[in-house]
Amino acid sequence: MVASWRAVGPICLVRLHARFDRTAARDPLLTLLTGGFRGPRQWGNLRSMSPRYTYFVSLAAAALLTVCGLYCVFWIFASADMAFVVCNNEYSLFSPTPRCRQPYVAMILATVLLGLALLVGLRARRAFNRTG
């Protein structure tokens, strides 16, 4: 007879957590690579990570968000140039023509992505200051 996942799942997670704790306590390389995590219960918690690991993850995320935000800035100019004749230089977010909406969609995306990059960059700076 095969047991269901609902009955077995929590038991497997407890066993995985216990095995991870014992292995991480013995292996300093695993502790360094995982950022000092103590197990799966802390995977979503940024405060449980070591400051150095938080710095590197935040810096990488800020760089990726900045690149995506700059792509959206270029998309603003490209879509406005392509839609200039079709839209008679009148762009609107609620235009019936999809091409006339693209510059505003790109502006919104660029603002959100660059704003998030700024916030994540500030988080990285705070983590760097804590590393000492």
Segment 36-50, tens digit of pLDDT: 555 555 555 555 567
Which among 105, 125, 132, 113 is positioned nearest to 55, based on CA atoms?
A: 125
pLDDT value at 117 more than 60 = yes
pLDDT value at 116 more than 90 = yes
Q: What is the pLDDT of residue 15?
A: 45
Q: How confident is the model at residue 110 (pLDDT cuts 50, 70, 90)?
A: very high
Q: Distance between CA 102 and CA 76 in Å, rounded?
A: 7
The residue ranking higher by pLDDT, 92 or 48, is 92
Q: Distance between CA 102 and CA 19 in Å, rounded?
A: 51
